[in-house]
Structure 1
């Protein structure tokens, strides 16, 4: 895949979703509110009874009109029926676990899951009597199901080693068994992949990344395919005290409007760099689902409309010091956590310490790259000079 397919209808829909058309502000105004006033006790009590329903204005923690407008727009992006906004990506990842798992339940989790989510599963969810089982992301899950299995939790692709899961197959396996399926869709967003349309029940996103798009706010979203799943999530968000600051909502809503334009550039630059890196001395392998060399490329072509800017490379060395020198030698790639902003990033990684169901046997050094919105030629030149420094001929 060299170019993103035409997305005209999706781009147009994304620009208008969650907005009041006609006379008035183009953008939904920011609402800074805790207390909401009512005209009568009856009106207050009606709002209280419906406080977990979509779009009910009751108290600031439950959302205000700008929150609801943003949630509606994300629902359109993800092809869902309702969304819950929460204060961070990790909060979004954990919310379905809290909402739908109880003591005695069993959850299957892809071994490549976002590491902070793994930490929350081990340190909090498992402590409350839930059996957490990590599985090979490419495994056949049918033999692993138990009578008490209540959830399958996926991340496709994993954001360090980039394995894809067969989402339609997993969804078909779970349907009719009382098993809720959850997928972290931060890498592709609903712009490039819609797991809900593929049969998944719940999609989570670290909106901190591509939706906000400027590395200046933290935000998470949880979107459902079935309205019946919305209320338990809204209730769990309340139990946890989740409330999103209005300025974060504003930045998320603003980021949504340019999401398509930015992702097209991330897609093009990321693939250009990945293909070029495959040919360079010092690079042993490139881990990018959009490449024909990727083991899951067929799934990518079937389920995805494009790729984001995040991928990894294996340097042709087992020396951690050389990987550090490579990262330190880059001028245009900032060294830091997260991704999805306009800037390019680099981060040395070690998958071995964050797996239990699978064993990462690769000894060559992994470095994760995020292709930002800089000129691709400048990024390529920056990578070239770093490779020359680390792998002189």
Structure 2
């Protein structure tokens, strides 16, 4: 059986474990995990070997800034999980992956279109750093394919997608949007952190680049920062060259942590998805809630597209209060015990933060047709706790809202 025929669970176990990275040369046996290679200097056999140089690719000793076997093993594993990818570049954070990829694909005078519900740092990169470099950027409504097509101009070179969208969880029709982009010669990037390749094969759905924050599901334990960009040739070669120009590198220790997290990512995603669905169904029946924004939930906004295009989900979703002011929302969140208050998600612990999309949207703050009630929301990141305990914790939060 070809490794390409293996199911995701098997690929998670086998990925990135080439013999050259787990076996000493000329020695029998080997180790299960690629060792942690800590090195800034890579040695050559002799001057003639030095003169040969090294290919502009990972997997070849050159200098520590271009990684070593531990980083290569992780990159190789991520490439194997993304159908259609020819390579993966690693970055010290998800934001670094987004910024460097955009710099690789855009030049002064070009234009970027980005989805209006994108991760806030993506918007800041587009309207800040890129603008200063002579690259224009505009947002578009991800739920309006015709409007997106009309927005594409002669200077448009890249579109940045995210589905589900940060905070408000809109699911856009990526196959349609990427087809429109391709017709105009525009490259499509997607922030695929929410579903990961296990839940959404982004390149197979038309995207040219899949970017992830490995800080989230891949790390899985809230103890590392890292990002990645996966793509087919020749796009990945452009990203790799830009990464090398900028000296982007991740530590072998963090790469080893990410490899460890990768092995259990499938199990953790199954658990958090199941728990999120149970909790979102419970929230649907709360009088205090006007809308639950969870694509996995039947009847929720974007569920039909999620069911059509996705093979999995995760524990991240939002809900909106029917009648509440900011003080009531504060009491709700502050009363939670099992839910921490903090950014990020994808770790083993549950988190809650307030959601106020109005300040970072140009089109619609909330998905069309959603009863956004008070206009005040909360984003929940469901961890590995028992969902019944989390529900009891949320009950305490709702009770605290009433006890001013």
Which of the five TM-score ranges fits, normalised by the shorter chain? over 0.9
Match for residue 9 of structure 2? 11
Match for residue 56 of structure 1? 60
Q: Which residue among 86, 95, 110 is the counterpart of 1:90?
A: 95
Are 1:130 and 2:128 matched, yes or no? no
Structure 1 contact 135–358 (Cα < 8 Å) conserved: no
Which secondary structure state, in structure 1, belongs to the residue aligned with residue 8 of structure 2?
Answer: helix
Structure 1 contact 66–250 (Cα < 8 Å) conserved: yes
Structure 2 contact 168–366 (Cα < 8 Å) conserved: no
Gaps of 5+ in 1: 1-6
Match for residue 182 of structure 2? 175
Are 1:106 and 2:104 matched, yes or no? no
Are 1:158 and 2:165 matched, yes or no? yes
When the two structures are superposed, what TM-score results if normalisation uses the length of structure 1?
0.94
Q: Which residue among 183, 186, 198 is the counterpart of 2:205?
A: 198
Per-residue CA shift, 1:174-205, capped at 9, x if unaligned? 22533110000000011111111111100000
Tell me the CA shift for residue 218 of structure 1.
0.1
Structure 2 contact 351–380 (Cα < 8 Å) conserved: yes
Q: Which residue among 47, 58, 79 is the counterpart of 1:75?
A: 79
Tell me the CA shift for residue 360 of structure 1.
5.0
Tell me the CA shift for residue 222 of structure 1.
0.3
Aligned residues: CA RMSD: 1.7
Match for residue 371 of structure 1? 382
Tell me the distance in 2 between the aligned counterparts of 1:45 and 1:267.
53
Once the two structures are superposed, the pairs formed by residues 224-303 of structure 1 within 5 Å of their partners are 224=231, 226-303=232-309
Match for residue 383 of structure 1? 394
Change (3 A) 1:183 1:331: same
Tell me the CA shift for residue 275 of structure 1.
0.6
Tell me the CA shift for residue 315 of structure 1.
1.4
Q: How many residues align?
A: 383
Tell me the distance in 1 between the aligned counterparts of 2:127 and 2:179.
27
Match for residue 26 of structure 2? none
Which secondary structure state, in structure 1, belongs to the residue aligned with residue 348 of structure 2?
Answer: coil
Which secondary structure state, in structure 2, belongs to the residue aligned with residue 203 of structure 1?
Answer: strand
Structure 2 contact 112–126 (Cα < 8 Å) conserved: no
Match for residue 343 of structure 1? 349
Match for residue 3 of structure 1? none
Structure 1 contact 344–373 (Cα < 8 Å) conserved: yes
Are 1:25 and 2:31 matched, yes or no? yes
